[in-house]
Chains A and B, each alone.
Chain A
Amino acid sequence: MNSLSEESVGRALLNAVAGISAPPESRWFPDRRARSGARMAIVAVAAATLILLSGIAITAVPRTVPASPGDPFSVADEAAWAQVRLTFPSAVILRPTWVPDEFKRTGSGDCPSPTASVQNANGTYAVTYLGTLIRMPPGSKNAQACTRVEVKTLIVTPEDSFYGVQLVDVAPINARGTTVRVRVGPRVSDVNGQPHQLIYMNWLEAGTSYELNTLDVNLADLARVLRSLEPIK
């Protein structure tokens, strides 16, 4: 009976997966990331040089982010942005030169920071500065989350990236030569009754859609992050 069960379920599974349509073959290989050995070596040398020069620049010109060259946060921060740059060599990548103090640390096992997320399939990236872990009351849909400041680009509409959550428009901000749309999410209480809120900004800059969002950073500080964004080389 067991082998018959296995066989029938296995056959049902095989039949069902046959109906899953695959992406076109042009998308099977990570062409943006996969490079020949020689090219990879050149890129690696270039990246090392870039990181070295960044370290020199940081020493010469005081910056809030990274805090100081060589410390764990700076190393992680450089690595996160270098990963984005290596993946998207020709994109205009905006990096904050200021984030609130509580995010200038490497985070914890629960909230490792900063974290780079590169979605090769749709050509987007996000670098997230994570803060403290928040635990939600029992019965909540999500047990926990991290406070954060996140910078990202999008190719989908911003609304889509937020899964349709109800965001409320507040006064837009004039910055970066354009109007930045600002929205806030609902206030939610954690297990200790402390309130938390999402703030979400998005704008178009030189034809690219950018997004900046935060959990638990006030609007004034998020605006400062916004204004501190600079393209990286």
Chain B
Amino acid sequence: MEAGVDRVRWESAYRGAFLQVYRGLVAMGARPDEAEDALHDAFLKGLERSTSTPISSVGGWIFVVASRSWRRRRIRDRLILPWTLMTKEEAPRPDEAQPDVFVALRALTLRQRQVLVLRFVIGMSQEETAELLDIARGTVAATTHQAIAAMRIRMEVAR
């Protein structure tokens, strides 16, 4: 991105990606307010980042940055909250009926969740996912395969 028009372009790109990334974060287990804050962090990081390295996939980049931000906050919150207060599970709303697919997704590791959301919610290819997560394409394929297998088992058991 070039200086001058950067902000307008970035706002437009961010606006276009917001909905899918927000849904991806909530699907992964973020509470709505956490997903909003994580997206805000990603927006600001996008504004601050160097213009010399263009973003090939805005939605994917925002998702990866936001999911890392969310995770950092979760780790911090877990650590400093006295255990007497930690009476709820990580899932967003305890009274909210969650589709089986979300329950299964949230049982996966963070990396597995990131790969699946990037692939199926954000719509990234294996190559793009590998680049965004800085891992090999083969790792993306293997992670996808393992995650899908685990989800299928969980979803079938749930039924």
- Seen from chain A, the residues whose Cβ lies within 8 Å of a Cβ on chain B are 2, 5-6, 9-10, 12-14, 16-20, 22-23, 25, 27-30, 33-34, 36, 110-111, 115, 117, 119-122, 128, 130, 136, 140-142, 144-146, 148, 150, 162-165, 185-186, 188, 196, 198, 215
Contacts and interface: CB of A to CB of B under 8 A. Distances in A.
Given A115-B80, A121-B33, A128-B80, A20 B119 contact: no
A55 to B, nearest CB: 27
A168 B24 CA distance: 39
Nearest to A164: B87
B101 A16 contact: yes
Given A22-B19, A119-B33, A17 B121 contact: yes
Contacts of A111: 79-80
Interface string B84-109: 11111000000000010110010000
19 contacts: A2-B148, A9-B101, A9-B152, A10-B116, A12-B101, A14-B120, A20-B22, A20-B26, A29-B11, A30-B41, A115-B76, A115-B80, A120-B37, A122-B33, A144-B79, A146-B80, A188-B84, A196-B82, A198-B84
Given A28-B18, A142-B83, A20 B148 contact: no
Contacts of A186: 84
Nearest to A11: B120
B131 interface: no
A16 B24 CA distance: 10
A17 B86 contact: no
Interface of B: 7, 11, 14-15, 18-20, 22-24, 26-27, 32-34, 36-37, 39-41, 43-44, 47, 73, 76-88, 99, 101-102, 105, 116-117, 119-121, 144-145, 148-149, 151-152, 155
Given A10-B119, A22-B22, A29-B43, A163 B88 contact: yes
Contacts of A128: 80
A121 B66 CA distance: 14
A145 B79 CA distance: 5
A162 B85 CA distance: 6
Contact of B105 (A13, A22, A23): A13
Nearest to B116: A13
A144 B151 CA distance: 30
Contacts of A148: 80, 82
Nearest to B105: A13
A115 B80 CA distance: 10
Contacts of A115: 76, 80
A186 B82 CA distance: 11
Contacts of A196: 82
